[in-house]
Amino acid sequence: MQKFGRHSILVRSAAVLIASFLVAGAVSIAATIVVTGQRQHRAAVEHLGQLLDTVESTVSVACFVKDAKLADEVAQGLLKNKEVLSVAIRADGVDLARSTLPGRLPGEAAGNTQLTRDVRSPFANGKTIGRIQLTANAEVIRHTIRDEVRFVILQIAGQLALVALTVVAVMLVFIVRPIKAMSDGLHRMDATKGERLAVPQRHANSEIGRLVLDINTLAGNLVDALSQERTLRQEKEVDERKYHSIFENAETGIFVVAPDGILTSWNPAFALLMHIPPYEAYRGNLNIRQLPWENASRITELTLHCWLNNVGLADDLTVRLRDGYWRWLHVVLTPVGENQLQGVVHDVTEHKEAEALAKQLAVTDKLTGVTNRLGLEEKLQRLLSDPLIAQTGGFTLIMLDLDNFKRINEGFGLPIGDVILKDATARLSNCIKASDFIARLAGDRFVLTLESLTGSDDVDHIAERLMQSIRKPFYVDGSPVAIHASLGIVVSPKDGADVPDLLRNLELALDRAKAQGGNGYVFFDNTLAKTAEKRQHLENDLRRAMREHEFQLYFQPIIDLAGNRLAGAEALIRWPHPERGMVPPDAFIPLAEEIGLIDEIGLWTLEAACAKLAQWQREGIDRYISVNVSARQIPDGLPAVILSEIIEHHGIDPARLALEITEGVLMVDVNKALTWLDAVRARGFRIFLDDFGTGYSSLSYLKRFPIDSLKIDKSFVHDMSEDSSDRALIEAVIAMARSLGMKVIAEGVETAEQLSLLRGMNCHYGQGYLFSKAVPSEQFEAAASRINELLGHTPGAA
Amino acid sequence: MLPRPLLLLLAALLLSPLAQADPGLVLVVNARSGVDRLTLDDAVNIFMGRYRQLPSGLAALPIDQPENQPEKARFYRLLVHKDLAEINAYWARLIFSGKTSPPHQAKSSAEILDLLARQPGAIAYLERSQVDSRFRIVLELER
């Protein structure tokens, strides 16, 4: 290594220093030349002036008398001064003297400094009488300047040498040596072993010291960064080994594909899935499109999308393998950098098949194998959105329900019911074209879809055929069972724009067919919808009435005909509708029963009746009240326990409360009805059988059921005056009841004649307009007074 | 302040013929010289050696009074405001070169008058009282 090369700081600094000194010296010399020249010039002028002063009087005399000799003497005297080059004296336009230094040409004087002075008369008048001109000797001035410059140069050179030496010494000591020491230290230092540069002596707080600290910090950071880098590299190696192990041993197919579609790697599992050789054994390039995809453009599309958008994608694709079977593969593509995509491939064939099966099952009715409700809805959706179907006049739907099928299930058991349903399904399927469609919604309800039907004649024909097929007997254990069906029919698009509409209207038509007694078919029309709508309104109103306490309880007096007195009253519900006025019970009770509101209404009635009873009891009035109980309330809507609780709550005697039931109660479930009746009677309540004579009026029932009183329907009472058979019937009923230990209440007593006839038959009680119509609670006492008058009592004596 | 009679006396004295008779230096030339008047400059040039010619073309012959005559010192005082030492020093410088020379130094007043009378170019300074018809006053130096 050169000790101080051309680029060493020392050499460079010295060079710069010398250069700057040379420049400064040159400037200084130039200045010296200029300044000295000017000064010398001024000095020369001054000196010449002084010389002139000394010779002034002599020259003036010489000029006065034009004495050339004297003038020449003066000139020669002046030339003895070396600063003077030449002298010229003139008087009155005549040269008196003109002298130049010997050996010098007078012409030389041109350009040199000249001093000219007028010569005045030596006498008082001071007139100008001549002129003297001195020319300075420039040579002398130049000499002086040269001397001065030489001195300046010497001075600068001396300073330069001194300063340069000082600078070199200082730089050596303060900069070059410490840097050299640092450089040597860095060459020896091993930063990874924790070695660091020492701060040169006396440089703890200098720039060199700070540089050493900075270098040490940098070394520390570099060592840290290197160690982190090493750790990362090791981790990466571990990761790569892990990945490689997964890659080799995974059951999942893994491959890497380059942007040109060439597979750059695949694992053994992928080779197995695709029936290709292992990657290591494969010769040549394999493009991803060359794999046995069913739809190769799809995989190209996927990979392109993945590359272009740099996002992961997944899709299920099928491959057709060499041995001729299909596999479903789930392919996940992920960008892994450097334009490479990694693909992960699973065989999802079983999953796909299971899924397809589940989907099939979801729309299939398990029992019959035909489509279920879900499948039907899908099918209808397809039909509705098919423009071709709309052009050819839509389609027809038939909803078919087996009448009273519930009884078959109850009577023969569910397995038999299922056999019949399967049989029915087969029969219905035979009635329709192969292109038509049958679905079982639930239970015994089917829907058939008939396409390409136009006239309603065709539909009528098919409906008849369907009913006919069901009407043929089904055989259960060799015995024939007769079943018939009801049908509702809608025609798309006129009978409904969407699936829910169509199905609802189908049900309305079917309900109407059922309501007409079954075994028939009904086409949907808008009146059905309107009826349904009205019913819906009524239902809403009814619920609101219950919620808003719109119902009122009226009481119709019941008269003890033998005792000739007011014995009690029948509680009758009334509904003053805010818009429609008084709604009769016939108009809303059946609906309340249907929608299950009857239990609530029943309880409310009972509460109100008991409140009235409690009032009478407080007033010391001995009367009973009978309350109508719907067949629907028995047994769960009105348990005996609840009855007792209500009675106890009001603190009244159960014997004052009579429950009016109809024969319908006894018809539904005999055993349940009996149990309820026994429980109620055991708690002291009385039971009235209402509307006797209008239903089955089975005498055997009367015998079996524990009933306290019979209420003879008003239709018999109404006709008894004219119709002797009715009269005989009433008489027979009264006689029979009496023999069974029951009381008889005649309803609808309207005339005095009827009253007298009934009395003649020893009928126990009477009820009707003759005595009073049903009145609100607060008007009851007024009605009671009128009845007492009618019965011949004096008011208040009852 | 003097009393009025004394002032009147002094005035009478100053205006009297006695006062006109006081000595006064004049520059005179030979009446035949052809010169009537000379300026003071002319006088200086002639006496200090610049020219030696009268305006009429005659060579001028300036004549100094004898050294001991007070008129000489008076004359140079009036002419160039210098004393005799200075005048002598002036001439000392010129004598060496020989180009010119000082005025002729007369040995007596008689010699002056004689030269004036004889030499047509002679020019000299005299007391007014010494002037007669042979001479012509060309410049009055004192009044």
B50 vs A: CB within 8 A: yes
pLDDT tens for B39-57 read 888 888 899 988 888 888 8
Closest CA to A117 of A89, A81, A77: A89
Of residues A13 and A382, which shows the higher confidence score?
A: A382
CB distance A123–B94 less than 8 Å? no
CB distance A65–B93 less than 8 Å? no
Which of A56, A60, A64 to probe the B interface (max B CBs under 10 A)?
A64
Q: Which domain holds residue A427?
A: 363-524
Judge whether A75 lies within some domain.
Answer: yes
Q: Residue A64: which of B50, B81, B97 has the nearest Cβ?
A: B50
From A310, A325, A354, the end of a domain falls on A354
Distance CA A1, CA A187 (A): 14
A681 to A212, A611, A740: CA distances (angstroms): 114, 21, 16
Contact A343, A254 (CB under 8 A): yes
Would you put residue B65 in left (φ > 0), alpha (ψ -120 to 50) or beta? Answer: beta
CB distance A69–B49 less than 8 Å? no
Judge whether B15 lies within some domain.
Answer: no
Judge whether A2 lies within some domain.
Answer: no
Query: What's the residue count for chain A?
Result: 798
The total domain count for chain A is 5
Closest CA to A452 of A380, A390, A371: A390
Q: Which domain holds residue B99?
A: 22-140
pLDDT tens for A295-313 read 888 888 888 888 888 888 8
Q: Parallel, antiparallel, or unpaired: how do β-strands A709-712 and A686-692 relate?
A: parallel
Question: Both tokens of residue A653?
Answer: 């005697």
Residue B36 confidence (pLDDT) above 70: yes
Tell me, yes or no, whether A200 and A155 share the same domain: no
Of residues A232 and A164, which shows the higher confidence score?
A: A232
pLDDT tens for A764-789 read 999 999 999 999 999 999 999 999 88
End-to-end CA distance of chain A: 148
Tell me, yes or no, whether A339 and A380 share the same domain: no
Question: Both tokens of residue A524?
Answer: 């949907």
Q: Where are the beta strands (DSSP E) in A514-551?
A: 521-523
From A524, A543, A561, the end of a domain falls on A524
Domain at B30, CATH number: 3.40.190.10
Closest CA to A288 of A246, A243, A343: A343
Q: Classify the C-alpha dihedral A382-A385-A390-A393 as positive or negative.
A: positive
Q: Where are the beta strands (DSSP E) in B3-134?
A: 25-30, 61-64, 104-105, 122-127
For residue A255, what are the β-bridge partners?
A266, A343
How many CB atoms are located within 10 Å of the residue A231 CB?
Answer: 10
B68 vs A: CB within 8 A: no
For residue A403, what are the β-bridge partners?
none
Q: Residue B80: which of A65, A68, A124 has the nearest Cβ?
A: A124
Tell me, yes or no, whether A240 and A259 share the same domain: no
Distance CA A691, CA A569 (A): 16
If pLDDT is split at 50, 70 and 90, which confidence band does A567 have? Answer: very high
B90 vs A: CB within 8 A: yes
Question: Both tokens of residue A583?
Answer: 């709604």
Q: Which residue of A has its CA nearest to B48?
A: A65
Judge whether B3 lies within some domain.
Answer: no
Tell me, yes or no, whether A156 and A208 share the same domain: no
Angle of helix A68-79 versus helix A9-65 axis, rounded to 10: 160
Judge whether A608 lies within some domain.
Answer: yes
A135: closest CA of chain B, how far (Å): 26
Tell me, yes or no, whether A715 and A734 share the same domain: yes
Average pLDDT, chain A: 86
Q: Which residue of B has its CA nearest to A124?
A: B80
Question: Both tokens of residue A288?
Answer: 């991803």
**Does a cis peptide bond (omega within 30 degrees of 0) precede residue A493?**
yes
pLDDT tens for A669-678 read 778 888 999 9
CB distance A70–B97 less than 8 Å? yes
The pLDDT of residue B16: 42
pLDDT tens for A489-543 read 988 888 888 889 889 999 999 988 988 888 889 988 888 888 888 888 888 999 9
Closest CA to A22 of A206, A119, A153, A197: A153
Judge whether A544 lies within some domain.
Answer: no
Tell me, yes or no, whether A256 and A405 share the same domain: no
Closest CA to A33 of A146, A126, A131, A124: A146
The pLDDT of residue A778: 92
Closest CA to A488 of A446, A541, A435, A544: A446
Q: Residue B49: which of A65, A124, A125 has the nearest Cβ?
A: A65
The total domain count for chain B is 1
B78 vs A: CB within 8 A: no
Which of A55, A60, A63, A67 to probe the B interface (max B CBs under 10 A)?
A67
